Amino acid sequence: MKKKLFGISTVALLAVGLAACGGDKNEDTTSSEGEPASSSESVGKAVGYKITGIDPGAGIMEATDRAIEDYGLDQWSVTSGSGAAMTAALKKAYDKEEPIIVTGWSPHWKFAKYDLKYLDDPKGSYGGAEEIHTFGRLGLKEDLPEAYAVLQNFHWTEEDMAEVMVEIIDGEKPNVAAQNWIDANEDKVSAWTEGVEKVDGDKIKFVYVAWDSTVASTNVMANVLGELGYEVEMSQVEAGPMYTAVADGSADVLLAGWLPVTHKTYIEKFDGKLDDIGVSMENVKIGLVVPTYMDIDSIEDLQE
């Protein structure tokens, strides 16, 4: 009971985070040192003209290079690291109310934990609302029809995914958080598996990148197929190898196909070698994200 209440409140917080796409902000942008936390003239200097990025293969990194170009941000660059390094840097800056600009995406638990906003993107470098697609290797439908049927039915919401992500960031193991969600959402899961026959230890291999959203979906699907009798392997790789593995058939499924913009380059590269099985979520988004205490609202504000 207690847990359920917690789940609802964190999801409510997340919804607030998702809604906070610029607009109202704090009047007081003064940091403890007495300097403005940021202003339109000093934001570049304050952050060393750096955008805190994630793993180099992520589509959001390519989009950020495009934004730097589109907005003429000649002095700026994006640092690469990982999703975990990005959220660690965000936490460090946020706790001290220091300026920081990160590559961000929704759904993501950071919107439940911090007051953040997307910078407006009038040039559309980051695209708009996107969908998350499930991709399989060619021949998967014939080889593993039961799994294929479940993957085709797989569809959930930002709130669903947020419950899993928030539990993981609060310390739960990914597979346990995934199972807790499955146990609490039997109606949704049974809609995915309805009429699908059980199997007896058939092997299926997921490839995924350590993006929090992808960790959540991959663990949920792995457990659902496990309950159906599959022996599920999960292999964590970088973004390029994730697509390569499904395209060359060395893995069966990836759940993190962000389209039409984020993974456009990968989809074009592997055209004809991937089976677009279905859409698991709509209205997802990428962009540049800052704490609401920062006094900027648009990527244009990064221009000098």
Question: Where along the sequence are the contacts to ligand PBE (CB under 6 A)?
Answer: 54, 58-60, 105, 211, 213-214, 239, 256, 258, 262, 286
CB of 58 to ligand PBE, least distance (A): 4
Minimum distance of ligand PBE from residue 1's CB (angstroms): 33
Q: How far apart are CA 48 and CA 93, in angstroms?
A: 14
Nearer to ligand PBE, 189 or 267 (CB): 267
Compute the half-sphere exposure of residue 37: CA atoms within 13 Å on the CB side of its CA: 24
Least distance in angstroms from the C-beta of 174 to ligand PBE: 16
Residue 236: CB minimum distance to ligand PBE, A: 14
Alpha helices in 82-238 (DSSP H): 83-95, 110-113, 140-143, 145-153, 158-169, 174-184, 186-193, 212-227
| Shortest Å distance, C-beta 237 to ligand PBE | 13
Asked whether 73 and 300 are in contact (CB, 8 A), the reply is: no
Gap between the Cα atoms of 191 and 194, Å rounded: 5
Q: Report the residue number, 105 or 230, with the smaller CB distance to ligand PBE.
A: 105
- C-alpha dist (Å) from residue 37 to 88, 114, 121: 19, 16, 22
> Which CB, 149 or 215, lies closer to ligand PBE?
215
Burial of 5 (0-12, 13-18, 19+ CB in 10 A): exposed
For ligand PBE, the closer CB: 141 or 155: 155
Q: Which CB atom, from 133 or from 137, has the smaller least distance to ligand PBE?
A: 133
